[in-house]
Amino acid sequence: MSNAPVQGGGAGAPLSTKIANLVIAVVLIAVAAAAIASTGDFPKTMLAADVGPARFPIIHASVLIVLCLILIANTLRMPTIADDTPPVGVAGYAGVALGILATAACLYAMEYVGYAVATVVYMAALMWLMGQRSPLWNPVIAVVVTAVIYFTFQSALQVPLPVGSLFE
């Protein structure tokens, strides 16, 4: 049906992919097992002829565990091949990590300084992070875009954006 190198065991995968497969499978098995364990506290149903709140999560989690075991088995069986995709490199991952951190910081800051300030700083920082270093254009673009978004949502769509607890 689809070309599935992982399934048949005929094709291989780079070592990094194999390790990732194994790690992800183990993590998901742990999550599924934890989900099954916590269904123990679920109350019995009050309704006549109902299977109760725990049944479906248990089924989904059990199938997930089986699938993860299949993935582990397939991964261990398949041969390791050389990695032909260009490596991302430390700088690349650092960029992604900083981007994620910036988003988290923006979310955290929004609660205190409000939407507008947090977003302007966030956007200017992201542009800087992505290699746009103009000290003039970065803030200008950030302010203009934030203003457009702010007025679209706040005024036109009547979505009240966070003011920030410091200003309230």
Partner 1 sequence: MHEFGMLMNGVATLAANPMALLLSLVGVALGIVIGALPGLTATMGVAILLPFTFGMDPVSGLLMISGVFFGGVYGGSVTAILLKIPGTPAAAATAMDGFELTKKGMAGVALGTATLSSFLGGMASILVLIFLAPVLAGFALEFSASESFALAVFGLSIIASISGKSVVKGLIAGFLGLLIATVGMDPMGGFPRFTGGYTELFNVPFIPVMIGLFAAAEAFKSMEDPKVRLGMAAALGRIIPPWATYKSLLGVVSRSSILGIVIGIIPGAGSDIAAYVAYNEARRFSKTPENYGKGELGGVAACEAGANGCTGGALLTMLTLGIPGDAVTAVMLGALTLQGLQPGPLLFKEHGDLVFTLFAGMIFCYVGMLVLGLGSLRFMGRILQMPKSVLTPVILALCVVGTYAINNSLFDIGIMLAAGVAGYFMQKWDFPASPVVLALIMGPMAEANFRRALSLSGGSYDFLYSRPITAVLLTVAILTMLLPLVKRWRAERAGVSGGPVKATK
Partner 2 sequence: MKGYRLLTGAVVGVLATASLIAGAQAADYPTKPIELIVPYAAGGGTDLVARAYADATKKHLPQAMGVVNKTGGGGAVGLTEIMAARADGYKVGMGTVEITLLPHMGVARFSVDDFTPIARLNAEPSAITVKADAPWKTIEEFLADAKANPGKVRIGNSGTGAIWHLAAEALQNKTGLTFNHIPFDGANPAVTSLLGGHIEAVSVSPAEVSSQVAGGQLRMLAVMADERSKAFPDVPTLKEKGIDLSVATWRGIVVPKKTPAPVVETLRKASKAAAEEPAFREQLAKMNLTWAYADGPEFGAAMQKDNAFFKDLMTKLGMAK
Residue 6 contact partner, candidates partner 1, partner 2, none, CB within 5 to 8 A by sort of partner? partner 1
Site membership for partner 1, residue 21 (CB under 8 A): yes
Do 59 and 32 meet the contact criterion of CB atoms below 8 Å apart? no
Q: Which of residues 57-76 bind partner 1 (CB under 8 A)?
A: 57, 60-61, 63-64, 67-68, 70-71, 74
Q: Which of residues 36-65 bind partner 2 (CB under 8 A)?
A: 46-49
Nearer to partner 1, 41 or 82 (CB): 41
- Least gap, CB of 1 to partner 1 (angstroms): 4
Do 162 and 117 meet the contact criterion of CB atoms below 8 Å apart? no
- Give CA torsion, residues 91, 97, 102, 104, to 10 deg: 180
Do 96 and 150 meet the contact criterion of CB atoms below 8 Å apart? no
Do 125 and 151 meet the contact criterion of CB atoms below 8 Å apart? no
Of 59, 140, 145, 148, the residue at the interface with partner 2 (CB under 8 A) is 140
Element (H, E) at 13: strand 13-14
Contacts with partner 2, residue ranges (CB under 8 A):
46-49, 114, 116-117, 120-121, 124, 135-140, 143, 158, 160, 166-168
